[in-house]
Amino acid sequence: MSAELEVKDVDLFYGRVQALRGLSIEVNEGEVVSLLGNNGAGKTSTLTMLSGLARAKSGTITWRGKDISSAKPWDLVRDGLIHVPEGRRIFSTMSVHENLLLGGYQVKDPKVVADRVEECYELMPRLLERRTQQGGTLSGGEQQMVAIARAYVGGPKLLLLDEPSMGLAPLVVKQVMELIGRINERGATVLLVEQNARAALKVAHRAYVIEHGHVTLSGLASDLAKDKAVIEAYLG
């Protein structure tokens, strides 16, 4: 069986800066896969490339059997490849509810959108309590939950999450990771970029370590969590 997502030997440049160097990763349907690595390793670039916001110079990107290396970001979102960027970027002057509804702007059937919003409230009762509150006045953890819920309303087949734990207290990180696990159980494949390797390896099935734009280590998350080099570099 071929993987849901296959990235093969990709090079990506910003002007003369090379961010990805022969990067290859695979994500199977139903998995949570984490990308670990230090600042500047190329994790965010991988996600922006997958969602069509940055273009690879060479290599191939195949999603659900289709070449997506020159696909338009809005077509990918419509088809269920949905990116939650670093820094959440929720609409600060709109309510929680309005933010969630916007996640479904490309979904044709309003009933499907309404049902998914209700599911989000079931999964995150905190958001239901705050449904009329302006996005900008929420705590960091609540904003992250809105960002993930908004993506859920779009109907993600493949959900790309960039540093969802950034700036959050440990208890809130735990809640966000549990939410990611529950969204995965509901059918979304997840590619998770994290600096918080400990939290990422708990929720992920497999992980890749990226250094200087390419993969230096990969394996089952449970094995990597016991790997001496990973412990020294990322879990110390």
Between residues 14 and 236, which has the closer beta carbon with respect to ligand ATP? 14
Question: By CB under 6 A, which span of 38-46, 134-142, 197-205, 222-230 interacts with ligand ATP?
Answer: 38-46
Among 32, 33, 34, 42, binds ligand ATP (CB under 6 A): 42
152 vs 208, beta carbon nearer ligand ATP = 208
Alpha helices (runs of H) in the chain, residue ranges in sequence order: 43-50, 73-79, 96-102, 110-123, 125-129, 140-153, 170-185, 197-203, 221-224, 228-230
Burial 147-176 (b: 16+ CB within 10 A, else e): bbbbbbbbbbbbbbbbbbbeebeeebbebb
Task: Name the one range near ligand ATP by CB under 6 A: 32-40, 65-73, 89-97, 126-134.
Answer: 32-40
Q: Which stretch binds ligand ATP (CB under 6 A): 36-44, 63-71, 92-100, 182-190?
A: 36-44
Tell me which residue of 214, 225, 226 sits closest to 37, measured CA to CA. 214
Q: Of 61, 77, 73, 24, which Cα lies nearest the Cα of 208?
A: 24
- List binders of ligand ATP among 167-226 (CB under 6 A): 195
17, 53, 169, 229: residue in contact with ligand ATP (rule CB under 6 A) = 17
Q: How far is the CB of 111 from ligand ATP (least distance, A)?
A: 38
Of 13-21, 119-127, 148-156, 176-184, the window that binds ligand ATP (rule: CB under 6 A) is: 13-21
The nearest distance, CB 215 to ligand ATP, in angstroms, is 12
Q: Which is nearer to ligand ATP, 39 or 70 (CB)?
A: 39
Q: With binding defined as CB under 6 A, does residue 43 bind ligand ATP?
A: yes
Decide: is 114 part of the binding site for ligand ATP (CB under 6 A): no
When asked if residue 103 is in the footprint of ligand ATP (CB under 6 A), the reply is: no
β-partners of residue 33 are: 191, 206
User: Per rule CB under 6 A, is residue 70 in the interface with ligand ATP?
Assistant: no
Separation of first and last alpha carbons in the chain: 37
Residues with Cβ < 8 Å from 159, sequence gap 6 or more? 82, 84, 151, 152, 183, 188, 189, 190, 191
Cα–Cα distances in angstroms (integers) from residue 55 to residues 26, 30, 98, 100, 183, in the given order: 18, 26, 31, 29, 28
What residue ranges bind ligand ATP (CB under 6 A)? 14, 17, 19, 37, 39-45, 195
